[in-house]
Structure 1
């Protein structure tokens, strides 16, 4: 998962308490995102894919009414040792571009878009102070569950972005990931994306 955080620790899993930046963040009161259109088109070359990535992020910035998100794309022609990875670094989005994204046909564009949308969601979480609050927590709690709560929040925010951009509810995710994506999509905003206070069963 993009931006997945791995730390150590174990204890009884439970909803998070007494961390206002996570549980009562002002982000949740933002309401529905303004609807926008996005004309980003993905071609089948490295150059067109890089342009598509930057255009999508620009669309996401407009939806959230936020400042421009820096995008750094690392692609070495002929180097196809793995799959494309997108994550958050230094307040922006870093993409290690591989051939899988470049060769992706139009019918699979939604997969790439959803990765970018959830990664941009993590940027929003950084700006809202959620990531810092997460790092500053006492990580004696069940770390795997905390990681899931964090990751599922990015998924939910990505779903909200899809709705605001008028895209169909389409995802390859399963289980609770799919449910949180759909939850964000239905709400069309971050108000439905508080993953920190729900029961453990909803983030399993």
Structure 2
């Protein structure tokens, strides 16, 4: 999930570390109502989408699919985020291989949330793939970062005090990442997508070059928060900021 929020990358770069799933630390989040008591937790299920998404095997059809998906996500999340602002999708040229967050080259396709818009590179892997599972995973993951930005969660996370202590920084980042997992799973439910293997969803969110740059937490916790979001079908169960440290390790 390298692609969810550019301010995360800034935190990682400042630390000069590759984030790994670590042991639990007792770092409760206090005095940050935008995180612990955000209005989004009071919202119910996302409405079931009526969008008909069709992905072909041409660049044009794949690009259209992505635009249609973002339009559908905007309509779906308008309920829990009433003031949702229009989200732009920026398609980069095939020769542009660097992501805006980690500034590393990616051979294939990617979708990433850069500040207030979603930046996408459509390459041969997504174009040729008859199955839309990878592009759906990547775009809905990027969308979760948009939700965090537009609800004030992103900036509130950035402003959290941590005393420069790396374990606390890591845990705060995991809380952000795991919440986005939960939001993403809610999107899957609203689209009526059956998930048989969450690991494949996680792998589809990022290009292979980023699979080792992980800061999301233990696989069991990623799975746990994803299942919660999917079963609830909405953001009400996605308050990772009040969860005990063991649940965000």
TM-score bracket, normalised by the shorter chain, equals 0.7 to 0.9
Deviation, structure 1 residue 144: 1.6
Q: Does 1:83 align with 2:83?
A: no
Q: Which moved more, 1:149-158 or 1:89-98?
A: 89-98
Aligned twin of 1:152: 178
Unaligned runs of 5+ in 2: 16-24, 79-83, 98-104, 203-218
Deviation, structure 1 residue 40: 1.3
Aligned twin of 1:113: 136
**1:146-185 equivalence runs, <5 A:** 146-170=172-196, 171=198, 172=200, 173=202, 174-185=219-230
Aligned twin of 1:32: 45
Taking structure 2 as the reference length, what is the TM-score of the superposition? 0.73
Deviation, structure 1 residue 114: 2.0
For 1:81 and 1:190, how far apart are their aligned partners in 2?
A: 31
Aligned twin of 1:126: 149
Q: Return the match for 2:244 from 184, 199, 204.
A: 199
Taking structure 1 as the reference length, what is the TM-score of the superposition? 0.88
SS at match of 1:86: strand
The alignment covers a number of residue pairs equal to 201
**Against the structure 1 CA distance between its residues 26 and 78, is the aligned structure 2 distance closer, same or farther, given a 3 Å change threshold?**
closer
Deviation, structure 1 residue 73: 1.2
**Against the structure 1 CA distance between its residues 98 and 147, is the aligned structure 2 distance closer, same or farther, given a 3 Å change threshold?**
farther
Q: Is the 8 A contact 1:162 1:185 kept in 2?
A: yes
Aligned twin of 2:118: 93
Q: Is the 8 A contact 2:90 2:118 kept in 1?
A: yes
Q: Return the match for 1:45 from 58, 70, 76.
A: 58
Deviation, structure 1 residue 103: 2.5
**Against the structure 1 CA distance between its residues 168 and 20, is the aligned structure 2 distance closer, same or farther, given a 3 Å change threshold?**
same
**Against the structure 1 CA distance between its residues 84 and 146, is the aligned structure 2 distance closer, same or farther, given a 3 Å change threshold?**
farther
Runs of 4+ in 1 over 6 A off after TM superposition: 77-80
Instruction: Provide Cα deviations, 1:61-88, integer angstroms capped at 9, x if missing partner.
Output: 1111244321111132697952323222
For 2:121 and 2:174, how far apart are their aligned partners in 1?
A: 23
